[in-house]
Structure 1
Amino acid sequence: MSSRAKYMALGVLDGTSVAVEKVVENPALNARERRPTFIRACREAGAQVVIAAHGSYCIPSALEARRGRLRLLVGEGRPEDLRLREAGAWEFIYSSLLATFERAKGH
């Protein structure tokens, strides 16, 4: 999950392949609201597209992405064989429920 990853990889998306240009520490690791903090950091880094794992985009992060005009994609597989799909309403609902359960458990 992007909000739990130790690092953020910043790069260029060309079709379905990603060329990583820079790796930085993930600022969301110590945040209370990890997913929106992650999206905010992507926006501040100048991203146009964010690729994250299933369960990474809650409703507040989707609103944050909309403010920054970010395109949100869900990526599955390894970087060399990446399958991408647009994040939709069900992704936001699932991620929001997952975030609520994680907060209740103290993660």
Structure 2
Amino acid sequence: PLQMVQDAADTAGLLFGVDIGARGTATVGGNVATNAGGIRVLRYGMYRAQVLGLEAVLADGSILTSLKGLSKDNSGYDLNQLFIGSEGTLGFVTRA
């Protein structure tokens, strides 16, 4: 749930920018799939601004991953942006 991400950030002395009312039950994958904004959207942006990489399971069961250690990668298409806001129609986000 989003609450676990916020708690982990708080423990590390950081702040996770996205906060929504359903933080206790909303999953990170669901937030990515809907491009959630929440109550801090004007200051920190939509969920799209928070995602550096993701892993998704496609309809045929194959796993697509773009979890890399680089914040900038210009090799090929940026599939992260395609999955963010897709409402789960392209696949299910399992890691972000």
Larger helix percent: 1
Shared fold (TM-score, shorter chain, > 0.5): no
- TM-score norm. by structure 2 comes to 0.33
- TM-score norm. by structure 1 comes to 0.31
Higher relative contact order (CA 8 A, sep 6+): 2
